[in-house]
Structures are given as C-alpha cells and as structure tokens.
C-alpha cells in the first residue's frame, strides 16, 4: 500500500499570517489523521516562516501515524531538532537558506561522503532516512552507497510535463529510477507538485511506491472540497 503523508506547512503559513493560533496546527494534524492520512510531514526552515521549531515538539506528542520531518541537515539546528524529537522518518533536502521551495535533489556522488556520515548519525538514533533525489540512474546508484533507507523522487518535472500533455514522456525517467532503486534495495517515496490530476498515473506506473508526501496542492484543494473530503480524494488515487 502506498501511504499518503500530508505536509502541513501551508496551514502553518496561514496561521502565521495573522499571528495567534488559527488554524490550530495540532488539531489540524489530528483531524488529517482521522480523515485517513497515513502520516504528517513538516519542513521547518531556518527562518521558521511556516513550521516553527516548537511546532515540531508539540506535533511529536500527538501524532499517532508516521511523522516525517524534512529539511537540510547542513543546518546543525535542524539535525538537533530531529535527533531530539525522533520522528518516524527524516527526509534530507538540499535547500539553500531562504529558498522558497525545494527545487532539486542531492548530488549523491559529489556529496556521498557527507551524506553517509549524516545518515549514519540519524540511523544510529533509530530514525528511518530518506534523501531527496532527481530521477537519475547515477544519482540512485550513488544514493545506495550512502546507507539511506529510502529515496524521495523529486516529481516537479513529472508534474510539469504531465500538465503539458506529455505524461508518457514525463513518467519514463521515474520508472527507470524506481526500477533501479528496487534493484538496489532502496525504498521509494515521492513528492513535489503531485496533485489530484497527476497522482493516479504516477502511482500506477511506479513499482513499489511506498509513500507520497503532498502539501500545497492538497491544502489548496481543501479550500474548495473541504479538508476531510480532500484527504479521502487523494487516498482514493492510491488504490
């Protein structure tokens, strides 16, 4: 079964826009789980413009499904946050400071030594590790040498080409990357710009897809369809 982890960054952005605690992030996470999501994802950034570091500790106490924390491990503050809160999974993303959103995966060849060291540090603490990567055979092979448990395929290129009407071309590098990951014993996650239009096709073509992490599109859809209905709509795309 492919799990749906809902990224709640956008709910935190909405809360922070007015101050106070509306929407209440903890209640939203509880409700999203109750509505059928298999996990909650957060991506705290150094400027805390959406998810705050103290949100992570509060969420850890109440989440009953899988908790996934994304971020750049070159920030020691992020590493300490993860080690202190021990989520189910940490997803390592090579974001630059101040970056609007994630826009590329790791170069697992150039940064192989560093990734191996930081991954070992998280795994020693009993945390499953996934690393954000582009759908490249060489990058997947490099990822396997780092000791990571999983990869997360960066799906922005797929989503863009799908919208342009080239879904067969769009999915091909992801299928090849997934096949290589399976061959090398890596678990497969995916995320970025997956939505109600393109998710089903991606799910149907990626062998042994374990998890998708979706935030922006899902929260936008919830404005029109309601949060409970939207979570269930996305879940139906994964079976």
The string of DSSP codes covering 83-133 is: HHH--SEEEE--PPTT-SS------TTTTHHHHHHHHHHHHHTT-EEEEEE
Residues 6+ apart with CB under 8 A from 149: 123, 128, 129, 130, 186, 187
Start-to-end C-alpha separation, the chain: 8
Query: How much is the pTM?
Result: 0.95
User: Is residue 111 annotated as a catalytic residue, yes or no?
Assistant: no
Digit-by-digit pLDDT tens for the chain (239 residues) are: 999 999 999 999 999 999 999 999 999 999 999 999 999 999 999 889 999 999 999 999 999 999 999 999 999 999 999 999 999 999 999 976 554 455 579 999 999 999 999 999 999 999 999 999 999 999 999 999 999 999 999 999 999 999 999 999 999 999 999 999 999 999 999 999 999 999 999 999 999 999 999 999 999 999 999 999 999 999 999 99
Residue 12: which of 1, 3, 24 has the closest Cα?
A: 24
The active-site residue out of 70, 152, 161, 211 is 70
Length of the chain: 239
Q: Is 192 labeled as catalytic in the residue annotation?
A: yes
Among 43, 66, 161, 211, the active-site one is 43
70 is catalytic: yes
**Nearest of 151, 159, 157 to residue 210 by alpha carbon:** 151
Work out the burial of residue 63: count CB atoms within 10 Å of its CB; fewer than 13 is exposed, 13-18 middle, 19 or more buried. buried
- Selected catalytic residue, list 66, 161, 192, 211: 192
């Amino acid at each position: 079964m492919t799990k749906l982890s809902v990224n709640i960054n956008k709910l935190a952005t909405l809360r922070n826009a007015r101050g106070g605690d509306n929407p209440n992030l903890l209640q939203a996470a509880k409700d999203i789980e109750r509505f059928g999501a298999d996990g909650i994802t957060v991506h705290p950034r150094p400027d805390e413009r959406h998810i705050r570091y103290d949100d992570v500790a509060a969420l850890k106490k109440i989440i009953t499904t899988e908790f996934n924390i994304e971020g750049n491990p070159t920030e020691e503050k992020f590493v300490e946050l993860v080690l202190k809160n021990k989520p189910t999974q940490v997803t390592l993303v090579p974001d630059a400071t101040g970056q609007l959103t994630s826009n590329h995966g790791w170069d697992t060849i150039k940064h192989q030594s560093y990734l191996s060291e930081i991954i070992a540090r998280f795994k020693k603490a009993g945390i499953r590790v996934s690393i954000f990567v582009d759908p490249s055979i060489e990058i997947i092979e490099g990822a396997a040498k780092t000791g990571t448990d999983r990869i997360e395929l960066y799906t922005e290129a797929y989503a863009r080409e799908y919208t342009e009407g080239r879904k067969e071309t769009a999915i091909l590098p992801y299928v090849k990357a997934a096949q290589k990951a399976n061959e090398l014993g890596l678990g497969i996650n995916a995320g970025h710009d997956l939505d109600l239009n393109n998710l089903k096709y991606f799910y149907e073509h990626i062998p042994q897809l374990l998890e998708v992490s979706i935030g922006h599109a899902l929260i936008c859809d919830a404005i029109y369809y309601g949060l409970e209905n939207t979570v269930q709509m996305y879940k139906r795309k994964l079976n």
